[in-house]
């Protein structure tokens, strides 16, 4: 079969990995409006949290179920591309500033009401938090969700490109925006090309087809610190925002991108790197992070541990999540064309399970 994938972002890559796994000789042509490294994809900005429980506060139970399935699927996908240390399932710590404890308890009550597996959410006092994460022992109360995980999103994007390049039957049309898609046809400024099947995974770039698709702005900061060692994703509850700190180790082995060449600090000093995110703003604004968001993210960081006061801010990123009105993912199937979109703030949490669903339940199977 001769397949086109329009959009080499997160979903496009997860899809190609699945296709190649069952049919390694399949002809796959990626169309990408930017470079094949995917640095402009939302999937490159993401923290890669796999947090089905924590997302339940605002998400439907289908997100929880698909998320659980994706957590089962990610390790094999990452092994396939040689990213052996790009997945961690050591749980999430959730805590709050003392004056926001009411907010945190309300959040946990809501999660427990929504899922049967309440045993999964453990109450922790300071000593118990310290036993899990010694550098968080100063927090007197918190919760621990042992089964949540995280994917190293930026290395997933980099390793998947390296993997695809090993296949002679996979090609990239970089800097080639797709203007229109029909069953079996991809339109670009250069003309129209025919395929046996086309997958539309353009994220926010698929607005020419979906009139209810919107972007939700998200901002993250990257910091490096040598006085503090947190090894698990940590959430901080706050009345206005729900922020997380995601440890990213101290290097970016395997990533050969301009972006990573810029953050030299950890490579030379062994500093630990953390992503602080993410804001959620109803706007399709891709401009750099605002002062207000920076202050909120950094003050949350400082609340989690005052030693972060000496951390160095090494990067900031802004992107927009593709979302529909109901904030749920959507799969559209017709003969010769499958569209997958609307993964909103759950792309890493959902993409393996949503792609599996699209390939097993879709017409493509026949
Ligand atoms: C700040 C932030 C933090 C996030 N954190 C998390 C998290 O912790 N956990 C989680 O599960 N999810 C997270 N997400 C969400 C996740 O990143 C998205 O849900 C996911 O990336 C959507 O995948 P996608 O492939 O549909 O879109 P994208 O990853 O954006 O990929 C779309 C691709 O299509 C290309 N494209 C667009 N238009 C065209 C065109 N016309 N022609 C050709 N190519 C085109 C784009 O350049 C891009 O490469 C986060 C998102 C943001 C912004």
Q: What is the pLDDT of residue 274?
A: 93
Query: From residue 209, how far is each of 8, 105, 255, 351 by CA, in Å?
Result: 18, 42, 34, 20
Ligand 1, closest atom to CA 7? 34
Topology of domain 2-52+154-212+327-365 in CATH is FAD/NAD(P)-binding domain (3.50.50)
DSSP 8-state symbol, 288: P
Q: Please give the order of strands across the beta sheet that includes 170-173.
A: 170-173, 27-31, 2-6, 197-200, 337-341, 330-334
What is the DSSP secondary structure assignment for residue 329, as one 8-state letter?
-
**Domain residue limits, the chain:** 2-52+154-212+327-365, 70-150+214-323
Residue 315 clears pLDDT 80, i.e. is over it = yes
CB contact set of 120 (below 8 Å; sequence gap of 6+): 53, 145, 146, 147
Sheet holding 178-182, edge to edge: 178-182, 185-188, 191-194
pLDDT 10s digits, 128-180? 999 999 999 999 889 999 999 999 998 899 899 999 999 999 999 999 999 99
CA distance linking residue 30 with residue 110, whole number of Å: 42
Q: Look at residue 293 in the predicted model and tell me its pLDDT.
A: 95
Confidence of residue 126 (pLDDT cuts 50, 70, 90): confident
Where is pLDDT greater, at 239 or 310?
Answer: 310
Confidence of residue 268 (pLDDT cuts 50, 70, 90): low
For residue 7, the CA-to-ligand 1 centroid distance in Å is 9
The response to whether residue 48 sits with its C-beta less than 6 Å from ligand 1 reads yes
Residue 62: closest CA among 360, 343, 363, 359:
343
Whole-prediction pTM: 0.94
For the Cβ of 33 lying below 6 angstroms from any atom of ligand 1, the answer is: yes
CATH class as words, domain 70-150+214-323: alpha beta
pLDDT of residue 359 exceeding 80, the answer is yes
The number of C-alpha atoms within 13 Å of 53 and in the hemisphere containing its C-beta is 26
The crossing angle, in degrees rounded to 10, of helices 61-80 and 347-361 is 90
Q: How far is the CA of 10 from the centre of ligand 1 (A)?
A: 6
| From 51-55, 179-183, 359-363, the region with the lowest mean pLDDT | 359-363
Ligand 1 binding pocket includes 344 (Cβ within 6 Å): yes
Q: How far apart are the CA of 299 and the centre of ligand 1, in A? A: 27
Bond preceding residue 278 cis, omega within 30 of 0 = yes
Of 174, 183, 217, nearest to 8 (Cα)?
174
Helix axis angle, 153-164 to 61-80, nearest 10°: 50
Distance 41 CA to ligand 1 centre (A): 5
């Amino acid at each position: 079969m001769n397949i086109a994938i329009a959009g080499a972002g997160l979903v496009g890559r997860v899809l190609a990995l699945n296709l190649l796994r069952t049919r390694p000789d399949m002809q796959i042509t990626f169309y990408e409006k930017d470079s094949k490294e995917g640095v402009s994809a939302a999937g490159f900005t993401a923290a890669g949290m796999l947090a089905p429980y924590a997302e339940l506060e605002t998400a439907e139970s289908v997100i929880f179920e698909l998320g659980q399935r994706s957590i089962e699927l990610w390790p094999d996908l990452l092994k396939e591309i040689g990213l052996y240390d790009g997945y961690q399932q050591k749980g999430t710590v959730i805590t709050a500033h003392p004056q926001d404890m009411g907010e945190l308890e309300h959040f946990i009550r809501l999660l427990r009401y929504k899922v049967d597996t309440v045993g999964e959410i453990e109450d922790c006092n300071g000593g118990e938090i310290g036993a899990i994460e010694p550098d968080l022992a100063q927090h007197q109360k918190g919760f621990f969700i042992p089964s949540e995980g995280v994917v190293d999103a930026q290395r997933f994007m980099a390793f998947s490109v390296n993997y695809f390049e090993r296949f002679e039957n996979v090609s990239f049309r970089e800097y080639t925006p797709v203007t229109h898609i029909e069953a079996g046809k991809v339109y670009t400024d250069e003309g129209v090309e025919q395929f046996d099947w086309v997958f539309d995974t353009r994220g926010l770039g698929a607005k020419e087809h979906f009139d209810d698709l919107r972007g939700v702005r998200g901002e993250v900061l990257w910091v490096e610190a040598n006085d503090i060692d947190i090894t698990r994703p940590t959430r901080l509850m706050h009345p206005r925002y729900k922020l997380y700190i995601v440890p990213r180790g101290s290097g970016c082995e395997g990533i050969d991108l301009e972006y990573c060449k810029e953050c030299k600090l950890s490579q030379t000093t062994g500093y630990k790197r953390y992503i602080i995110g993410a804001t959620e703003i109803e706007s399709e604004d891709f401009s750099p992070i605002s002062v207000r968001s920076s202050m909120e993210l950094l003050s949350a960081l400082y609340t989690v541990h005052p030693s972060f006061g000496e951390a160095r801010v090494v990067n900031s990123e802004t992107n927009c999540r593709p979302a529909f009105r109901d904030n749920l993912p959507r799969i559209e199937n017709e003969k010769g064309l499958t569209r997958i979109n609307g993964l909103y703030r759950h792309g890493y949490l959902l993409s393996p399970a949503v792609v599996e669903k699209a390939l097993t339940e879709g017409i493509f199977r026949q």
